[in-house]
Amino acid sequence: MLASLGAELLKLRKRPSTWVLGSIWLAVTILLNYTLAYALVSSVPPPTVPEGTPKAQKEQIRAQQEELREQQLEFLYPEYLVSYLTPGFPNLGAPIALILGALAMGSEYGWATFKTILTQRPGRYALFFGKLLALGILLALLVVVTFAAGAVSGYVIASLEGTPVGLPAAGELVRALGAGGLILAIWAALGVLLATLLRSTALSIGLGLVYSFVLETIIFNLPIQSKGFQDAREFFPGQNSNFLADSFSEQSQGGFVPPEPTVDAPQAALVLLAYTAVFILLAAFVFHRRDVT
Amino acid sequence: MTESEQRHPPLVETSGLGKRYGSISAVRDLNISVRRGEVYGFLGPNGAGKTTTLRMLLGLIKPSSGTAKVLGEEPGSPLSLQGVGALVESPAFYPYLSGRDNLRLMADYCGAPHQRVDEVLEQVELAGRARDKFKKYSLGMKQRLGVAAALLKDPELLILDEPTNGLDPKGMADMRALIRRVGHGERTVLLSSHLLGEVEQVCDRVGVIHKGELLTEGTVDELRGGGGILVKVEPVEEARKIAAGLAWVGGAKIEDGMLVLEVDPEKAAEINARLVSEGLRVSELRPVEISLEDAFLEFTRGETV
């Protein structure tokens, strides 16, 4: 499997789509979360105070505005890195992970390269798990680089504002890295499974995105009140990705109310872990059994 | 099994090998045997079942019936694939990688040292274009890269599936020369083709497959020969009568003024002696030779390749 891992890492490293997707993920994360957010907060015009407002009241309004601005800026500082970035993982990270997973497996079918590789003797399981391990390393790097880029952006903003720089607690950061990795892993695993079942890249990406963006939303909005249905909703991958990611928001900001039904972070992580394992094992089984035509 | 086969068991042996796709039999009851050191041609028209058979021998698809042994092991097992290099159908590589990087990957998968990459690139005369991306290669270069990948393990057995498919005449000639070069010495080559000329030029023995069934297996000469002697003799009618009276002559007829005898070509001297002793003037004796194409048409009852 280690020999396969080396080959798979080389493929990922040299593949343009890896860099394109990674760059999109990073660029959008930093642009939306930091650059745009900072520009918006910084450019809020001073409130219009009616003529004749007493000076003391004017001062009070200005102080309130400044306080609000400070509160908004606070989330951009490295200290709030975890609570600020982690909730974004299911929104943009999940589709990108799904595409990466589908590409890793589906392209091999598209280019018919499985026959070339398998006749070189790696063995199907070694090839499959080498591929997944390489994908896992890529996703882990993406998570780390995302938080690192967020920390650097936050540091720059804090410096511009002349605010002392704090850092999130190490334990919290590790938990966020794990949660981010798990959220990306389950969607990448879904991409791998779909590509294996469908032996195609485009269809598997299309179906995966339709599921993540449309199907779960439709299911959640069905006007069914039965307890069984309500309970079942707690076991959908998209919802659990959100529950896990939002658990970091809640912790840092206090007062944040996640959507009902609530599932605590450990349960959400367990559900995601179970889905990831099932997706991977099913894909491995199918890949091992099927003819390579 | 002959004594020679016991000493040198076949590198590839199938017994009743079959593959079904639903109600369609792609390959039926196939029994072939590829001996060490030979270039074995697997000849058949498109859709005859050649690629399906090769895929079964490489473990890419599972047989529906029968068994196969490749290097004495189960097809597709690591022990079997350790000594096998293969190019199945069109060469498939990563378009965004260079030829060298593609081979480096394959070397990683098979555990070959990276220095072997440069050796095989030299062998297939691609060293000068090794840095170019695969997607920029011509078809001929892609085929050669496929052969290079198959050679990475320095395999005992090389399986090449229609390696000249789609190539121009020069590309075909180059590829055949390459096959002869890499098949030189101890290496065994199993070459599938639908081109009779190619098999005739390159192969020592041939298995003819049609509609999923092996029709015959033998050397090119055996397939082409089929027995018989052509005799130029005067007077020819008298010669025909004499020959027809011989117990060991299967048949005698006159075609284009020549006497055609259904007899083992080894009997040519005896035929000559007998006709001369009867006072006939024999000016030419030669074995009946039909082209491999004619033989193939005969085997497949007129269906073209």
pTM here?
Answer: 0.84
| Token reading at A91 | 């929104």
| Token reading at A193 | 């499974």
Least CB-CB distance to B61: which of A16, A120, A292? Answer: A292
Give me the helix-helix angle, A94-111 and A124-161, nearest 10°.
150
Q: Is the dihedral of CA A226, A232, A236, A240 positive or negative?
A: positive
C-alpha span between B236 and B14 (Å, rounded)? 48
DSSP string, A265-283: HHHHHHHHHHHHHHHHHHH
Tokens 């006709």 found at: B275
> Do the domain assignments include residue A67?
no
> Do the domain assignments include residue A61?
no
Domain that holds residue A79: 2-43+75-289
C-alpha span between B200 and B195 (Å, rounded)? 9
| Token reading at B30 | 């196939």
Band (pLDDT 50/70/90 cuts) for residue B226 is low
Q: Report the SS3 class of residue A130.
A: helix
B183 part of contact set with chain A, CB < 8 Å = no
> Do the domain assignments include residue A69?
no
Contact list in B for residue A20 (CB cut-off 8 A) is none
| Token reading at B70 | 């490749």
Percent of residues, chain A, with pLDDT higher than 90:
65
> Do the domain assignments include residue A49?
no
C-alpha span between A153 and A141 (Å, rounded)? 18
Over residues A109-120, mean pLDDT: 94
Strands B12-21 and B205-210: unpaired
Query: Residue B5's pLDDT is what?
Result: 56
Residue predicted with more confidence, A215 or A195: A195
pLDDT at B264 over 90: no
| Token reading at A233 | 């909703």
C-beta atoms of B109 and A111 within 8 A: no
Domain count, chain A: 1
Question: B91 vs chain A: nearest CA distance in angstroms?
Answer: 8
Of A3-7, A146-150, B196-200, B224-228, which one has max mean pLDDT?
A146-150
Query: Residue A210's pLDDT is what?
Result: 95
Q: How many CA atoms lie within 13 A of B25 on its CB side?
A: 12
Domains of chain B: 3-83+155-223 (3.40.50.300), 227-289 (3.30.70.100)
Over residues A43-69, mean pLDDT: 79
Give me the helix-helix angle, B139-151 and B99-110, nearest 10°.
30
C-alpha span between A194 and A201 (Å, rounded)? 9
C-alpha span between B230 and B253 (Å, rounded)? 10
Least CB-CB distance to B110: which of A15, A113, A121? Answer: A121
Whole-angstrom CA distances from B178 to B38, B90, B123, B183 are 15, 17, 9, 8
**Which residues, at least 6 apart from A55, have a Cβ–Cβ distance to it below 8 Å?**
none
Type of residue found at B231: V
> Do the domain assignments include residue A62?
no
Question: A101 vs chain B: nearest CA distance in angstroms?
Answer: 17
C-alpha span between B262 and B80 (Å, rounded)? 45
C-beta atoms of B55 and A123 within 8 A: no
